[in-house]
Amino acid sequence: MQESFSIPRTLLKGLALYFVIVLLFALPLPNFGKVSAYNSLFPGRPRLPFGENPAEAYNFSLFNLDAMFASHEVADGTKPADEFRVLVIGDSSVWGTLLKPEETLAAQLNAAAPTYCGKPARFYNLGYPTISAAKDLMLIDYAARYQPDQILWLTSLEALPLDKQLDTPLVANNAETVDALIEKYDLPLDRNDASLVRPDFWDRTLLGQRRNLADLIRLQLYGVQWSATGIDQIYPPYPAPQTDFADGDDQFHDLRPPLDESALAYDILAAGMNHSPAPILLVNEPIMISDGVNSHIRYNFFYPRWAYDAYRAQLAARAESQSWNYLDVWNLLPKSEFTNSAIHLTPAGETILAQTILAALQPECP
């Protein structure tokens, strides 16, 4: 006997099924971010996904750490036995703003082809274009699973103010990971900080997650154009960094001389340095030293001289007292080797920095 077809009943069944699927999504499920077409259908990306113009750069920003790392070449299979793996952590100067993938610090270090402990070294660019020690610690902690033999951590004073640690979008949108870091390293960060995005039940349903899911799919789809063209960033014309400053412009965030150490995230830096999965060479990255109006007050857009000088002294003292492997190259480069910001380097600047780091890098072999 043929069953009769009822429109209301069919609609009701369809709606019921739809809502079950939407709600089931809120249950803890395997993280879809780990499923990636990179390193299988497409080659892994040489730097983490980041960008604001995906239609031209074939790259864009998302906050799913699993998906970000799964798209990176560091996640390509298991670590070869004959590889000395070095992870390079830092801000946009490490990621390579305005630099092609082959011009970044990691690429220049690879081009030098050094050998450590009898193995050829391979440097992985895990920089990400926001300046925050908490963000760096999050990436170091996540990257431990890729079995690094050595880590290069490039940092600067701008990464340290405590009041900005949780503002970075990548950090703010990974509240559970931040919670775990606070717990694990006893960090001086507030779990109830309003910056942290904490999804409620409805945000975790299929409807609430639709943007994140779309981002995951888009990341895979842009893999085709990235693989076909090798492009992961656009290079628009840019203005030179600011070199002239107003009279009396000696502000650094809300701080006043003398530089208050408790307002800076040295504890986060220490957590990374002291609990790292591999030895770390901490590098105080090069900054542009301007020679324009009032350059006796400020080094550059980021730093008044009083704050930066005090920071260098504090960091050097901590490194010495805690036996950190530390390299200070703050004044390594002339002004001409900076592009659009006081920390973004030209390809030639990256080459000089790579040579300097290689000269200082002396990994301990087991």
Partner 1 sequence: MTLPLIAIFGALTLLAAFFSDRIRGLFLFTLSILAVYALQPALPIRYLDFWLPTAALALALIFWISLHRGAEWHSADNLLSAAWMGLIILTLALTRFLPSAPSPLTPSMPPRPELVFAATLAVALLAALTGRVRFGWVHAVGLAALIVLLAVLKSPEASLWMARTLRLANGQSAETASSFDIRWLGISYIIFRFIHTLRERQMGSAPEVSLREYVTYIFFYPALTAGPIDRLERFVKDIRSSWKPAHEDWIVVVQRIGLGLFKKFVLADSLALMALSANNTDKVQSPGWAWILLYAYTLQIFLDFSGYTDIAIGMARMVGIRLPENFNAPYLRPNVTQFWNNWHMTLTQWFRAYFFNPLTRALRTRQFPIWSVILITQFLTMTLIGAWHGLTANFLFWGLWHGLGLFVHNRWSDATRARVSEWATTPLRQNLLNASGLFFTFHYAALGWVWFVLPTPALAVDFFARLVGM
Nearer to partner 1, 60 or 306 (CB): 60
Whole-angstrom distance, CA of residue 284 vs CA of residue 279? 16
Q: What is the CA radius of gyration of the chain?
A: 23
Nearer to partner 1, 224 or 365 (CB): 224
Residue 87: which of 51, 125, 58, 59 has the closest Cα? 125
Measured at the alpha carbon of residue 343, what is the angle toward residues 341 and 344, in degrees to the nearest 5? 70
Nearer to partner 1, 11 or 293 (CB): 11
- The answer to whether residue 56 forms part of the interface with partner 1 (CB under 8 A) is yes
Say if residues 285 and 93 touch (Cβ distance below 8 Å): yes
Nearer to partner 1, 225 or 351 (CB): 225
The strand pairing partners of 255, in sequence order, are 252
Instruction: Report, in Å, the least distance between residue 46 CB and partner 1.
Output: 15
Site string for partner 1, 11-50 (x = CB under 8 A): ----------------------------------------
Instruction: Report, in Å, the least distance between residue 7 CB and partner 1.
Output: 6
Q: Residue from 231, 263, 270, 358 that binds partner 1 (CB under 8 A)?
A: 231
Q: Is 53 helix (H, G, I), strand (E, B) or coil?
A: coil
Whole-angstrom distance, CA of residue 233 vs CA of residue 52? 9
Instruction: Report, in Å, the least distance between residue 62 CB and partner 1.
Output: 14
Tokens of 365: 């072999």
- The answer to whether residue 207 forms part of the interface with partner 1 (CB under 8 A) is no
- The answer to whether residue 212 forms part of the interface with partner 1 (CB under 8 A) is no
Instruction: Report, in Å, the least distance between residue 230 CB and partner 1.
Output: 6
- The answer to whether residue 227 forms part of the interface with partner 1 (CB under 8 A) is yes
Q: Residue from 55, 81, 194, 359 that binds partner 1 (CB under 8 A)?
A: 55
Q: Residue from 1, 2, 3, 5 that binds partner 1 (CB under 8 A)?
A: 5
> Candidates 117-125, 227-235, 254-262, 299-307 — which segment interacts with partner 1 by CB under 8 A?
227-235
Site string for partner 1, 165-204 (x = CB under 8 A): ----------------------------------------
- The answer to whether residue 213 forms part of the interface with partner 1 (CB under 8 A) is no
- The answer to whether residue 218 forms part of the interface with partner 1 (CB under 8 A) is yes
Q: Residue from 228, 293, 313, 348 that binds partner 1 (CB under 8 A)?
A: 228
**Alpha helix (H) residue ranges in 35-172:** 54-57, 65-70, 92-95, 105-112, 133-143, 169-172
Nearer to partner 1, 224 or 313 (CB): 224
Tokens of 245: 């400053």
The strand pairing partners of 38, in sequence order, are 42
Residue 219: which of 75, 99, 66, 357 has the closest Cα? 66
> Candidates 86-94, 124-132, 226-234, 349-357 — which segment interacts with partner 1 by CB under 8 A?
226-234
Whole-angstrom distance, CA of residue 161 vs CA of residue 49? 25
Rounded to 10 degrees, what is the CA torsion of 60, 34, 142, 278? Answer: -110
Instruction: Report, in Å, the least distance between residue 219 CB and partner 1.
Output: 10
DSSP string, 170-231: HHHT-HHHHHHHHHHHT-S--TT-TTS----HHHHSTTTTHHHHHHHHHHHHHHHHHHHH--
Query: How many distinct helices (H) and strands (E) make up the chain?
Result: 13, 6
Q: Residue from 230, 257, 292, 334 that binds partner 1 (CB under 8 A)?
A: 230
- The answer to whether residue 308 forms part of the interface with partner 1 (CB under 8 A) is no
Decide: residue 308, CB within 10 A, 0-12 exposed, 13-18 middle, 19+ buried.
Answer: buried
> Candidates 80-88, 220-228, 235-243, 263-271 — which segment interacts with partner 1 by CB under 8 A?
220-228
Nearer to partner 1, 57 or 283 (CB): 57
Chain contacts with partner 1 (rule: CB under 8 A): 5, 7, 55-56, 217-218, 221-222, 224-225, 227-231
